[in-house]
Amino acid sequence: MNFTTHALVGAALGAHVGSPAAAIATGLTSHLVLDLIPHHDVTDWRGALLDVSVGAATFYLLRSCLAAAGWWGAVAATAPDLEVGLRHFGLWRGRCGFPTHNGDHLHGRWPPIAGTLIQFPFALASLAFILLG
């Protein structure tokens, strides 16, 4: 899924569990679970830049709403996609190590509109949880 979706879900889970260690564990787990849900991933640098920009702006706006565990959850939930980014820019030549990135299952190949729209409920529910929690 997109950076913004992973980050919001990870932040909401981190805020819920409350401790940085548990937030890291739930953030990483949430990345795995979200990647297993059929979706569409951005396929070029423009989409990635837009996604990361929206995510960064969202977290800038949320900066006063999140405690440390929420931030750790967001970082852990997005960290696995670092290898995808490095690979995309030719800085990682090997097989990706994260289970949903190694090509063993269909990942991020849903049609763009449906595959993007399916991410909204996860992102918006997480945003609501952060804002109301």
Residues of this chain that interact with Zn ion (CB under 5 A) are 35, 81
Instruction: Report the residue number, 6 or 17, with the smaller CB distance to Zn ion.
Output: 6
Task: Tell me the closest approach of the beta carbon of residue 64 to Zn ion, in angstroms.
Answer: 28
Instruction: Report the residue number, 85 or 129, with the smaller CB distance to Zn ion.
Output: 85
Helix, strand, or coil here: 44? coil
Alpha-carbon torsion, ordered 89, 87, 111, 37, to 10 deg: -140
Task: Tell me the closest approach of the beta carbon of residue 131 to Zn ion, in angstroms.
Answer: 25
Query: Contact 96/102 with Cβ under 8 angstroms?
Result: yes
Side-chain-side CA neighbours of residue 14 (13 Å): 29
Instruction: Report the residue number, 35 or 51, with the smaller CB distance to Zn ion.
Output: 35
Instruction: Report the residue number, 15 or 101, with the smaller CB distance to Zn ion.
Output: 101
Task: Tell me the closest approach of the beta carbon of residue 18 to Zn ion, in angstroms.
Answer: 25
How buried is 73 (Cβ within 10 angstroms: 0-12 exposed, 13-18 middle, 19+ buried)? buried
Task: Tell me the closest approach of the beta carbon of residue 77 to Zn ion, in angstroms.
Answer: 9
